[in-house]
C-alpha cells in the first residue's frame, strides 16, 4: 500500500507539472474567462477536466493503447482533433471580423443572452478540446503505462482517476477565477480583442499542423 501511495504521489506531481504547460486548454480558459467571465470559465474548466478524465479511463482500460498502435485509427483522431482546433480558431477570427465590420452598429444580442449561450457551450468546448487532443492521448498512455502496474488495486486506480480529474479541474478553475476577478476584468476588457485574435491564430495554426502531420503519416514513402 505504501508503494501505491508513492505511485499516486508521483502521478499527481507529473500531472500537475504537465497541467501548467501552456497548450490549447490553457488558451481556451484564458480566451473565454477573459471575455465571458467567471461562470463561463468554470464551465470551460469542468469540460476540460472531464476530457482529461475520459483520456485517463481509456488509458487505464487499454483502449487508448489499441488506438495508438493502429496508425489509421490514430490518424483519424489526429485529423478530428486538428479539425476541431482549426474550427475553433477560424470561428474566433470570423467572429472578430464580424464585430469589426459592424463596430458602428448597435448590438442586437443582449449581454444576458450572450452569457447564457456561452455558458451552454462552454462545457462541450472544454470537453472536446481535450478529448480530441492527440497529444493528450499519447501523454496519458505514457503516464499510465509507466506508472500504473498491472497489479495495481482497483481502489488505487479509482483514486488515480480522481486525482487526475481533481487536479485538472482545480488548476483550470483557479485560472478562470483569477482571470475573471473584477479588478483584472477591468484591465483585460480593453485588450480582449487582441487576446481573442491571438487565441484564434494559435488554435488555427495548431489545428493545421496536427492535421498535416496526421495526413503525412498516412502517405506511403516513395
- Sign, CA dihedral 151-156-158-162, equals negative
- CA dist 122 → 10, 40, 115 (Å): 31, 6, 10
Q: In angstroms, rounded to a whole number, what is the distance separating the alpha carbons of residues 139 and 134?
A: 9
Q: Indicate whether 175 belongs to any domain.
A: yes
Distance set, CA 213 to CA 65, 75, 136, 144 (Å): 19, 9, 16, 25
CA of residue 205 relative to chain centroid, distance: 16
- Examine residue 55 and state whether it is found in any structural domain, yes or no: yes
* Residue 18 belongs to a domain: no
Q: How many distinct structural domains can be found in the chain?
A: 1
Q: Among positive and negative, which fits the CA dihedral 22, 24, 25, 27?
A: positive
141 is a domain residue: yes
Residue 186 host element (H or E): helix 182-188
Residue 89 lies in a domain: yes
Low-confidence ranges of the chain (pLDDT < 70): 1-2, 100, 102-117, 185-190, 192, 218-222
Domain boundaries, position 34: 2-11+23-218
Say if 17 falls within a structural domain: no
The pLDDT value given to residue 43? 94
The C-alpha cell that represents 201 in the structure block: 491564430
Say if 123 falls within a structural domain. yes
Q: Is residue 160 part of a domain?
A: yes
Residue 80: closest CA among 42, 123, 130, 31: 130
Amino acid at each position: 500500500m505504501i508503494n501505491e501511495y508513492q505511485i499516486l504521489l508521483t502521478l499527481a506531481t507529473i500531472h500537475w507539472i504537465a497541467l501548467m504547460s501552456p497548450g490549447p486548454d490553457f488558451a481556451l480558459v484564458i480566451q473565454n474567462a477573459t471575455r465571458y467571465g467567471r461562470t463561463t470559465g468554470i464551465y470551460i474548466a469542468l469540460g476540460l477536466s472531464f476530457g482529461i478524465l475520459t483520456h485517463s479511463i481509456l488509458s487505464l482500460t487499454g483502449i487508448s493503447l489499441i488506438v495508438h498502435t493502429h496508425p489509421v485509427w490514430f490518424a483519424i483522431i489526429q485529423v478530428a482533433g486538428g479539425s476541431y482546433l482549426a474550427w475553433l480558431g477560424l470561428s474566433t477570427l470570423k467572429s472578430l471580423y464580424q464585430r469589426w465590420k459592424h463596430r458602428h452598429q448597435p448590438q442586437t444580442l443582449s449581454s444576458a443572452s450572450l452569457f447564457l449561450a456561452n455558458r451552454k457551450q462552454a462545457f462541450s468546448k472544454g470537453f472536446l478540446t481535450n478529448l480530441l487532443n492527440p497529444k493528450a492521448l499519447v501523454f496519458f498512455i505514457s503516464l499510465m503505462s509507466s506508472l500504473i502496474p498491472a497489479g495495481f488495486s482497483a481502489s488505487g486506480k479509482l483514486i488515480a482517476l480522481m486525482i487526475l480529474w481533481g487536479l485538472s479541474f482545480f488548476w483550470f478553475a483557479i485560472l478562470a477565477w483569477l482571470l475573471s476577478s473584477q479588478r483584472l476584468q477591468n484591465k483585460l476588457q480593453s485588450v480582449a480583442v487582441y487576446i481573442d485574435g491571438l487565441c484564434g491564430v494559435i488554435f488555427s495554426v495548431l489545428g493545421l499542423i496536427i492535421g498535416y502531420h496526421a495526413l503525412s503519416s498516412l502517405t506511403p514513402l516513395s
